[in-house]
């Protein structure tokens, strides 16, 4: 069974692997950080948050300072989907944001008797139901 | 402070211990904050009465009826404060009313208002119970009211002042009612109550430990005078004390009726049942989350005086129905800067995340966080010691909120039953102007603009966030009418609510946008502005699941010129934006400069411009997954530039086509906007391919855009 763990990642309980939710690419050992199996780009934040006032004249421009802040972009090696971003000081190691107890996850789902992907949802609210149904119909969300 | 353990070698007899205790009690020099009270955020054990009442069993329907009536009373009290309060904060809903058990646990909070208070006000009540109740010179009697503001004794921050009154029957306290308002001005070294410039705790303004200011129904004039004498706005201090007293009394009147009807036992049982119900339910909900460890580190770029980098670490471990939050690894406190926060304030903002964003359906009780263990090193900037200044403690505490908001999405993503939607990070800085000086009416004042309430946020897995929607700490807070304010203060917002193009957390679904504010004073003997936030070099919030965070925000100023004079001479110059003013420099005699967002109180001469922008909410999901028609629509509305459409979203369009669509021309063949998108989609495919091909090259991949 595949359990959706983030927007772009599932844990496959049969193989105990992180797997891309978009293209089913194998990402890595589910007992470890998924980030090790991604492609990483060390992005200059000025390329994303571009200056709004003239960077040649002013120190503070709406762009983060690249000597303070870098954006690590993590891509699925299969489809190139940007799975996650980290805002970190230059040289700071990636944040290990999730370490999942896979055995406990399996036990939890076995006990529930449910299929994790089948029952997956984005939560309550008329709002959620309306938009989710619409985007699902067009294939915009999973 | 270093404590040296010199325990006596011989054990004292019971009698000797009594003598020692009495000696220590009689000769205590100073009763400061009590670590036993301050480190503990869990609910109190049952009192004897609660034990007896609950052992007999409660009627659930009765409990529900009592809860509803309490809620009605608290909402009425809340509305009284909002309608009558003199503080700008009160007018925008930055306040709360609540009822507490005899031991001080919040049993119910007003529907509106600042939920964070449900994690905090048990501290001062426990203090009153422990130190003042049996103290012959103080005591707690019917009609008494205690005031308090110092966060070292338990508060969100020192701008907030509480009025706490006991409900008593037969000489016993059976509950407490309190109203808390963000009053702002508190006599700190800068006006407005949250100085970015405080360098010692004595710069933070009033240091009110809980003390009795209302005695047997009478507001004590001597103490009131002392407080008025200690702040810049004596009128405000008096007016809002009266407002809080009146609101609390009104709530107590209604609750008295409930108690008269159902009896003390049933009433006490109902309060405790609510507290315990929530505790049980929270444990059950934690049990639904997958076991594991979840980590979110944040970095702050400012002491509000100089640029730095300091970390706030948060690791949550879930195992079964237990949750442990570990803040170790957080940077040290800085003993001459204002950014430090006491741990209780950080916890209060974690509670804000829990009750507003994790489980908004739960009654707002102390017990919503009671079972969560929190590990933290005292002496860090998120767990500051007694001697640390904490004028801008929000710098640490709001990041406690952000950690909890971001981590819950990861913890709860797989759960089949959700209590709320997954939400990308809310903007977490109070980008606004604090101000002070002498008004056009000759009054001395100090406070702030409501624009801090214009925080954007709310990107979800299925929709964009909202622009300037509400502050993270108060869903119903208002950004107020600037024009009304201008009647009372000698400055205008020349630009009040204008969105800054491209100021957005990009994603598959974008975070909401923030607006800019441009102010200038005129016609005052003395006036000044300040700003109190970080995030000018390092983004203060991050995106979610491939979305991006917010940008970095400058304070821009034009000094040495009077723009009012310029505009009077040539009204075409009255088309202002930060981008336009700073890049085009339309006022020839002006000096144009940028600064980080920690501006200490700065004297503003007539017509000098101060310009800031609200931040942006974090984006959700990979921006390349955003629908091209949504990107074009953003461009069409002027929310993003064509450059951002191409470089971030990889959508190319023909700008000439946009006005055509505005005039109502038919959509293009794909049903999307006309003309442009075929090329855009090709670019997107190229991008994907570049990412894909990069795979063979190893872990570092260059994503070539365009
Ligand atoms: Zn993939």
- pLDDT tens for each residue of B142-169: 999 999 999 999 999 999 999 999 999 9
User: φ and ψ at B527, to 5 degrees?
Assistant: -150, 155
Summarised one tens digit per residue, pLDDT across range B389-442 is 999 999 999 999 999 999 999 999 999 999 999 999 999 999 999 999 999 999
| pLDDT score for B102 | 98
Higher pLDDT, B402 or B91: B402
| pLDDT score for B672 | 39
Please report which residue ranges of B97-159 form alpha helices under DSSP H. 122-127
Q: What integer is the mean pLDDT of B246-258?
A: 98
Chain B residue with CA closest to A106: the answer is B290
| pLDDT score for B667 | 33
Q: Mutating which of A6, A60, A105, A131 best tests the B interface, going by the most B Cβ atoms within 10 A?
A: A60
Evaluate if residue B678 carries a pLDDT over 80: no
Q: Which residues of A14-43 are buried (b: 16+ CB within 10 A; e: fewer)?
A: eeebbbbbbeebebbebeebbbebbbbbeb
- At residue B100's C-alpha, the angle toward residues B97 and B106, to 5°, is 80
Evaluate if residue B681 carries a pLDDT over 50: no
CA of B542 to the centre of ligand 1 (A): 22
Which of chain A's residues have a Cβ under 8 Å away from the Cβ of B692?
Answer: 78-80
| pLDDT score for B4 | 57
| pLDDT score for B395 | 97
Which of chain A's residues have a Cβ under 8 Å away from the Cβ of B550?
Answer: 49
| pLDDT score for B466 | 96
| pLDDT score for B446 | 85
CB contact under 8 A, B301 and A7: no
Sheet bearing A39-43, strands edge to edge? A39-43, A70-75, A82-88
CB contact at 8 A, A89 and A68: yes
| pLDDT score for B3 | 54
Q: What integer is the mean pLDDT of B166-178?
A: 97
List the single range of A98-112, B9-23, B45-59, B308-322 with lowest mean pLDDT: B9-23
Evaluate if residue B593 carries a pLDDT over 90: yes
Which of chain B's residues have a Cβ under 8 Å away from the Cβ of A127?
Answer: 421, 463
Q: How far is A123 from chain B (nearest CA, A)?
A: 5
For chain B, give the percent of residues with pLDDT over 70: 92
Evaluate if residue B676 carries a pLDDT over 80: no
Tell whether B40 is within 8 A of chain A (Cβ): no
List the single range of B59-63, B646-650, B698-702 with lowest mean pLDDT: B698-702
Tell whether B549 is within 8 A of chain A (Cβ): yes
Summarised one tens digit per residue, pLDDT across range A4-14 is 999 999 999 99
Tell whether A123 is within 8 A of chain B (Cβ): yes
| pLDDT score for B687 | 53
Protein residues with C-beta less than 5 angstroms from the ion ligand 1: A 20, 22-23, 25, 76, 78-79
CB contact under 8 A, B293 and A42: no
Chain B residue with CA closest to A67: the answer is B537
Angle separating helix axes B394-412 and B343-353, nearest 10 degrees: 40
User: Which of A52, A71, A85 shows the shortest C-beta gap to B500?
Assistant: A52
- CA-CA distance, B474 to B92, in Å (whole number)? 10
CB contact under 8 A, B701 and A61: no
Sheet bearing A9-12, strands edge to edge? A2-6, A9-12, A17-20, A26-29
- Return all residues near B60 (Cβ < 8 A) that are at least 6 apart: none
Domain ranges of chain A: 2-113
| pLDDT score for B660 | 41
Note if the pTM is more than 0.95: no
Across all residues in chain B, what is the average pLDDT? 90
Q: How far is A41 from chain B (nearest CA, A)?
A: 5
Summarised one tens digit per residue, pLDDT across range B104-128 is 999 999 988 898 887 888 999 999 9
Across all residues in chain A, what is the average pLDDT? 95
């Amino acid at each position: 069974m595949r359990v959706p763990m983030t927007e772009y990642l599932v844990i496959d309980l049969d193989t105990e692997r992180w797997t891309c939710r978009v293209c089913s690419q194998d990402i890595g050992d589910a007992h470890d950080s998924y980030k090790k199996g991604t492609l990483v780009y060390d992005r200059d934040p000025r390329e994303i948050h571009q200056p709004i006032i003239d960077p040649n004249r002013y120190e503070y421009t709406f762009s983060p300072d690249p000597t303070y802040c870098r954006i690590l972009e993590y891509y699925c090696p299969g489809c190139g989907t940007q799975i996650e971003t980290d805002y970190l000081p230059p040289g700071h190691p990636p944040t290990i944001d999730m370490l999942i107890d896979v055995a406990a996850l399996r036990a939890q789902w076995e006990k529930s008797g449910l299929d994790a992907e089948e029952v997956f949802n984005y939560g309550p609210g008329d709002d959620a139901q309306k938009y989710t149904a619409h985007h699902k119909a067009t294939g915009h969300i999973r | 402070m270093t404590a040296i353990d010199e325990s006596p070698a011989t054990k004292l007899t019971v009698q000797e211990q009594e003598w020692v205790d009495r000696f220590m009690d009689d000769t205590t020099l100073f009763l400061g904050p009590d670590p036993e009270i301050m480190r503990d955020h869990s609910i109190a054990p049952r009192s004897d009465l609660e034990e007896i009442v609950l052992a007999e069993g409660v009627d659930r329907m009765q409990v529900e009826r009592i809860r509803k009536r309490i809620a009605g009373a608290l909402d009425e009290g809340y509305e009284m404060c909002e309608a009558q309060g003199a503080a700008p904060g009160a007018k925008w809903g930055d306040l709360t009313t609540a009822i507490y058990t005899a031991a001080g646990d919040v049993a119910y909070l007003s529907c509106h208002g600042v939920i964070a208070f449900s994690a905090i006000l048990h501290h001062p009540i426990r203090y009153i119970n422990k130190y003042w109740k049996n103290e012959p010179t103080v005591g707690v009697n019917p009609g008494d009211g205690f005031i308090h503001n110092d966060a070292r004794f338990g508060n969100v921050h020192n701008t907030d002042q509480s009025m706490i009154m006991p409900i008593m029957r037969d000489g016993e306290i059976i509950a407490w009612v309190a109203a808390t308002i963000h009053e702002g001005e508190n006599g700190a070294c800068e006006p407005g109550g949250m100085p970015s410039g405080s360098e010692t705790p004595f710069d933070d303004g009033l240091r009110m430990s809980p003390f009795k200011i209302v005695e047997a129904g009478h507001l004590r004039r001597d103490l009131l005078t002392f407080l008025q004498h200690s702040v810049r706005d004596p009128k405000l201090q008096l007016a809002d004390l009266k407002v809080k007293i009146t609101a609390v009394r009104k709530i107590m009147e209604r609750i008295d009726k409930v108690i008269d009807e159902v009896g003390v036992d049933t009433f006490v049982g109902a309060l405790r049942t609510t507290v315990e119900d929530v505790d049980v339910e929270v444990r059950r909900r934690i049990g639904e989350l997958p076991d594991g460890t979840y980590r979110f580190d944040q970095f702050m770029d400012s002491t509000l005086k100089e640029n730095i980098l300091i970390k706030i670490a948060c690791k949550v471990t879930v195992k079964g129905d237990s949750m442990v939050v570990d803040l170790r690894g957080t940077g040290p406190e800085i003993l001459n800067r204002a950014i430090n926060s006491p741990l209780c304030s950080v916890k209060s903002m974690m509670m804000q995340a829990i009750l507003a964003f994790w489980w908004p359906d739960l009654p707002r009780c102390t017990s919503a966080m009671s079972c969560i263990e929190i590990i933290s090193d005292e002496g860090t900037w998120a767990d500051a010691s007694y001697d640390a200044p904490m004028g801008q403690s929000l710098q640490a505490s709001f990041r406690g909120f952000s950690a909890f908001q971001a981590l819950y999405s990861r913890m709860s993503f797989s759960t089949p039953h959700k209590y709320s939607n997954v939400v990308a990070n809310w903007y977490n800085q109070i980008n606004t102007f604090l101000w002070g000086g002498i008004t056009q009416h000759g009054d001395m004042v100090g406070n702030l603009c409501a624009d801090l309430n214009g925080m954007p946020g709310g990107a979800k897995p299925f929709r964009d966030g909202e622009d300037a929607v509400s502050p993270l700490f108060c869903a119903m807070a208002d950004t107020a009418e600037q024009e009304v304010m201008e009647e009372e203060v000698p400055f205008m917002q020349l630009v009040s609510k204008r969105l800054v193009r491209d100021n957005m957390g990009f994603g598959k679904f974008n975070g909401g946008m923030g607006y800019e504010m441009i102010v200038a004073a005129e016609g005052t003997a003395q006036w000044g502005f300040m700003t109190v936030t970080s995030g000018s070099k390092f983004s203060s919030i991050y995106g979610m699941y491939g979305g991006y965070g917010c940008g970095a925000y400058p304070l821009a100023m034009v000094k040495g010129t009077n723009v009012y004079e310029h505009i009077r001479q040539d009204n075409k110059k009255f088309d202002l934006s930060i981008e336009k003013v700073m890049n085009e420099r339309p006022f020839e005699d002006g000096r144009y400069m940028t600064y980080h967002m920690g501006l200490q109180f700065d004297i503003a001469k007539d017509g000098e411009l101060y310009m800031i922008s609200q931040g942006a909410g974090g984006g959700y999901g990979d921006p390349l997954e955003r629908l091209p028609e949504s990107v074009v629509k953003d461009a069409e509305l002027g929310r993003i530039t064509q450059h951002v459409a191409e470089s971030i979203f990889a959508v190319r369009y023909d700008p000439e086509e946009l006005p055509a669509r505005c005039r109502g021309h038919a959509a293009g063949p794909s049903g999307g906007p006309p003309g442009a998108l075929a090329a855009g989609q090709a670019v997107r495919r190229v991008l994907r391919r570049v990412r894909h091909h990069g795979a063979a090259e190893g872990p570092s991949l260059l994503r070539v855009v365009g």
